[in-house]
């Protein structure tokens, strides 16, 4: 397996600002690893709501996270406003795999790279479902 490497800003199509919080720091003085996953979830859902028309709590088809991972290259800590880059790693008819790059505002390479996969599910039946058309259109525009 290849050793993970930091990614460059040019790899990402869209960026969101994410401010760190005092509570993000752990006893070692940097953001705890679980905090990164909250940032990833926030950025992806912001994209899905703003660009894909997702309506949390109302949509019959939702995306469940079925896989996730993160590679860490350099720590971040409070107080800092991070820039999270978003890109689609793979797009299917019923799932999407995201990649998120965590950047310090002054740097061109990632401090961390996260990945997760959403599998879309019909809430009523609990069965796999096609990505809703408005979300699919937003995802295709990000490719």
Q: What is the per-residue pLDDT across 50-61, written as a single tens digit (0 to 9) for each? A: 999 999 999 999
Is the pLDDT reported for residue 6 higher than 80?
yes
pTM: 0.95
Residue 2 located in a structural domain: no
Helix/strand/coil percentages in the chain, nearest 5: 25, 40, 40
- Residue 107, pLDDT score: 97
pLDDT tens for residues 23-52?
999 999 999 999 999 999 999 999 999 999
Question: What pLDDT does residue 2 have?
Answer: 83
CATH value at residue 21: 3.10.129.10
Q: How many domains does the chain have?
A: 1
Q: Which domain holds residue 86?
A: 9-142
Within a domain: 3 = no
The first and second tokens of residue 60, run together, are 């019959």
The sheet that has 112-122: what strands, in order across it? 14-19, 81-91, 95-104, 112-122, 61-72
Please state, as a whole number, how many other Cβ atoms lie within 10 Å of the Cβ of residue 71.
Answer: 14
Determine the Cα–Cα distance for residues 107 and 65; give it in Å rounded to an integer.
29
> Would you state the structure tokens that stand for residue 126, as one six-digit string?
């609990």
């Amino acid at each position: 397996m290849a050793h993970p490497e930091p990614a460059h800003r040019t790899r990402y199509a869209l960026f969101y600002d994410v401010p760190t919080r005092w509570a993000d720091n752990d006893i070692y003085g940097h953001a705890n690893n679980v905090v990164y996953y909250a940032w990833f979830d926030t950025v992806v859902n912001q994209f899905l709501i703003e660009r894909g028309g997702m309506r949390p709590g109302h949509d019959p088809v939702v995306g469940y996270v079925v896989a996730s991972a993160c590679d860490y290259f350099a720590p971040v800590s409070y107080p800092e406003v991070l820039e999270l880059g978003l890109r689609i790693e793979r797009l299917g008819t019923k799932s999407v795999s995201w990649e998120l790059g965590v950047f310090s505002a002054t740097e061109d390479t990632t401090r961390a790279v996260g990945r997760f996969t959403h599998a879309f599910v019909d809430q009523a039946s609990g069965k796999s479902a096609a990505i809703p058309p408005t979300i699919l259109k937003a995802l295709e525009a990000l490719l």
